[in-house]
Structure 1
Amino acid sequence: MRYPIFVGLLTTFTLAAIQWRLSNHQPLQRAILKWFLLAWLGGGTVYTGLHMVPLVLNRDAILSQSLGWGVLVTIYLVIALGITRFRLFNLDRWVVTGWFWFLGGGAIIAFDAVLISMLDLNNHLSLAIALAVAGWLYFPARQYLWSYFSRSNKHNDYREMLPNLLKTLLNIDRQDLQQEWSQLMHRLFSPLNIEPIELSPEQVQLHSEGVSLAIPGFHDISGLQLSYADHGNRLFNNDDRRLANAVYKLFCHIQEFRDAFTNGVQEERKRLARDLHDDVGARLLTLVYSASDERQGELARETLGELRAVIHDLESKRYSLVPILSELRMETAERCESRGVVLQWLQADKIGEDPLEARQHANLKRILREAVTNALRHSNASNLKIDVKVEEMQLILQVSNDNVHFDTNNPHKPGRGMRNISSRAEELGGSAEWRMGSESLLGGYTVQIVIPLQGKITTDE
């Protein structure tokens, strides 16, 4: 009777090891196996170690036959408890705690048995030594191991992640929110699969006994379903649900703040545009009609035109790139014609209807105007070439003339116009570069401006 029990127990261990390997990346099956091992092997090992092993060694059984059968009954009670009370997605967490308590208690009993059998100590002395070892060595070691495994299960330090999360969500473009939200969920839970869901739940939910986690959508962001946490090594649990719900609410509050901030900026833009139109615009219009000579009238009209452009920029949100370039081409052609300069405007055919924000629109016009002004006012150029193209979502402008106006002793000393061009390009996330002489397209000087069409734009408006 004894030896078949030993063989059966060893067979169970062997089959459990095989099933452990087969359930790799199957967290639901792995959780069931863990709980089964805790129940069956735990109860069976206690019965065998405390009742059967002493009898084989011709010693008195530590556990009586009646108590031993009671231990075996607990196997079925633990399995029933796992299925009916805690459900499978909680077993993955409880099984670790159960094994810690079981192995810890078994270690104390085994140490006490070693003291009695090998050192020939009486029961009271061996118990005292075992308690001392448990208090001074076992419990600190168990606490250290528990803390270590608890940290290893938390792949992210959420306290360090929170500032980066807020910084990212407050600065990201709205069209990138869906991608950033998915990446955030991937960093938090490392699921094997993330899929958008059409019918978004009203709150974060666990599905299929913890195999998947459903997260609601908000605004124009679709809901997500995450499957197989930690690369398929575990199930989602209630802690994951609470964490996802907290991050989801934080994400929603951040978007509400962004929307309120954007609406406030737009309202302030409209108010400022009205004030400029009603006050400054009216006075400039009066100055146009009351100018004493033609020069003052022309200057007033130019200023009024610039004011109207500023007001238009304040009121508008998006511009199309192609009409803007057409407007700038006509304006530049008129300026070159008045100066007797030949304009060659080269524009690639592949330029699409890329949208520009108001700040991009305003700075682009001012950059090109300043570059053309430098070529017309500060040189004796007879030819002006402007090359416009879009490469890898970047607008590239090259303005070249055939006359060098820089100081040859200090050719790269920047003036106010050059500094303005550089600062406006940098404000749009781009750059400005000057070349002269043989490096220039026409042998004079060339300024190249690169502006990302979907780059980050400063918002200090």
Structure 2
Amino acid sequence: MKIRIPPVIQIYILGTISLLLAVLSLGIALDQAYLGLRLTPEARSTAPARIDGMRIDAVFPGSPVAGLPGTGIPTLLSSLAALADSDGKVLSITPEDLIEEPDAMDSYATMDAFFARQDEISKMLRNDAVTLEVQFLDESRFFTIQPARQRPIRSLPFAFWLQITVGLGGVWIGVWIWALRRGDWATRCLAFSGAGLMVSAFPAAIYSTRELALPADLFRALSSLNHLGAFAFGVGMIGLFMVYPRRLFQPRWLVFPALVLGTWFVLAHLGMMESPVIGIHMGVILALLAIVILVGLQFRATRGDPRDRAALSWLGLAVLVGSGAFVITVIAPHLLGIDAFLSQGVAFVFFLLVYVGVALGVARFQLFQLENWAFRILFYVVGVVLLLSIDALLILTIVDERVPAFALSLLIVALVWLPLRDTLARLILRRREPARADRFRKIMDVALTPPERDQQNRWQVLLADMFNPLSLVHGVDAGAPHLREDGLILALPRVHTLPPLELRFADGGRRLFSARDLELATEMTAMLAQALESRAAYEKGVSEERTRIARDIHDNIGVQLMAALHSPERTRKDIMIRETLTDLRDIINNASNPDMSFDEMLADLRAQIAEQLFIAGVTMKWWAENAQALALPLQSAHMLRSIIREAVQNALKHASPGRMDISVRFTRGRILVSVSDDGNGFEPARVQHGNGLANLRDRIDAVRGVVRIESSPKGTRITAEIPLSKSMKEDT
């Protein structure tokens, strides 16, 4: 029975293997003797001084060299001229010792001598102690140090991480596409080329960013792997264009480029070519020429097929630009006997452009018959890989414990990768707003345009954009959209103040209106009608609220301010001004929140009354029962405040009380209020019309409430019942 592994699991497995290889490369790069110098063969100073060896560009803090007591090595003007071991053996240092790529040498003998010299320097650095001869302005200084056994991770340059990233990016994108189309020879070739890029980039990252030297056997092995990966990349790309987008050759012919380039690789490493430059670099250029020829053949084969031609143009451009840029800046100069235009470590980024171009081609042209759903898998896998990678990095660097490191990495992924993923999805997949949402936005623009500002013209422009009729004229209102004359005319009804219209000859006269057009028109008119009704209701509400605010200001604020202005008593004047400010605040709050919370309103009212009584020197007892957090209707809230405030004001003005008791109780859909004092009392029958209590009685009668006033020389008691709405009674 054949076991089929899901694509996501395959991506995880192969992605994990590539990460392990990256970690192995990192371990090899760090497992080298370390001085703490950043050396460069290029001179960076115009000082008239003799420079032997290699320029010291920087001294890393905390390194063996930086720990020399009282010396310090001046950078930029200093150079490392020689090394000496404890036995007195001296090795002069030359700029050739830091050659980035040994296969650029003019003969195999020269390359062998280079590896032997690298081995000699590496062994000297691994001894117990080494003496550095440093030249500074024609003066030699000697420093004896103990090289570190391992190189710290912070000393690895940007080029190292760049090459590791390129290798991972190439293999991940290749594996991602192959896992979703495993039976396709084109995706197999793409994945093979990505693996070749990884095999080439990882070793190059190690030896091209070394501090000074590597053991010969290790250097040779890394160099051979780099060449093998480069040839494998070429085999994969040649095979890709042999079968994609059109099958120019049968799959069995894919073995041919593998045999040719494989043979070339073996001959080059057996020293049977004229030189390493011819053996390695000429093989790479021949592979690129084969790719160019195959792209040309594919271009010819895709004539008359715009889809395949577009896919070929995008994919071919990505491969030729990425690979060609590397050949022009690094390979070709070596063949011509001149220095490379760009560092090989930095030039590797051109290969990453190839695979980024492939990923973008999947989004734009559905390369390899993949749709946008493929990116959801990719983004998910990348998120998990980032989580594990950041977790491992934190444990290796700054966080010692496993759980805090995982929690921190999870936080970083959540805060950085998830928003970045959405941004990438929008940029790569070019997500567009759904047509329905776009129509709704345009219809809302029509509905929100005031009639006097050409609302009708906007509606007609929208219809013209949607249906492109040959003519659009005023019609007769028929109550609903309908087709006439077998689809020649689409008739639309009146929508509020917008007149009925007739759309004639759809799509510029090239077709009849269809049932789908009628369905769309019905949906649009219904949406517009609903939007216009909502706007009319909103404007009506705004008008009613303006009227309410104006009435409240006229009936309450104006009267209270006038009374305060003419009041001879300072205390009374202050109280009335405070009440006026409170009413003004209530008016503003009610405009934005017509239904008030019962318990919050009582707390606010209690604070107001307590302040008034405190100023007057009166003790207050406040008691509330069943003060729930329910929404109190505006009229009931206003009535409750008026009863309590009016009762308190009358007592302070006429009864000179020393104590007041106030209780509020909510029960059976009613609010029961009681306000009593121990003041002088009065005769209720003598209450005149216009008095505050009389006005209050009239207002309670208007809402079918009940108010009772009881007074004697020992005090006054006012009780009232305020009924609530029917819906609130049912809720309670």
Pairwise same-fold verdict (TM > 0.5): no
> Which of the pair has more CA radius of gyration?
2
With structure 1 as the length reference, what TM-score do the two structures score?
0.34
